[in-house]
Amino acid sequence: MTQKRHHYRVNMFKQTITITLFYPQADTSAWETEIDFLVYKLYGLSYDEVLVVDPGTGITREEYERG
């Protein structure tokens, strides 16, 4: 992972947490989906395993396998 990509992800995590704390009504679902995606990849889950863990995931098989 490049330094730039790492900083982007860390900032995304921080912003999601901050927004959720101060504006609980804010829609952070897009960021949460991206965070879920990163965690699934970190643990090396296949797409089929992701569906077991999170059957309602908003991530398509194509997006997951591309990412």
Per-residue pLDDT reduced to its tens digit, 5-33: 878 888 888 888 999 999 999 999 888 88
> End-to-end alpha-carbon separation of the chain, Å?
13
Residues 36/14, Cβ–Cβ less than 8 Å:
no
Between residues 67 and 46, which one has the greater pLDDT? 46
Q: According to the model, what pLDDT value does residue 1 have? A: 61
DSSP state of 44: T
Q: Are 38 and 50 in contact (CB under 8 A)?
A: no
3-state helix, strand, coil in the chain (%, to 5): 70, 0, 30
Count Cα neighbours of 28 within 13 Å in the Cβ-side half-sphere. 19
Domain segments of the chain as ranges:
3-66
Percent of the chain surpassing pLDDT 90? 45
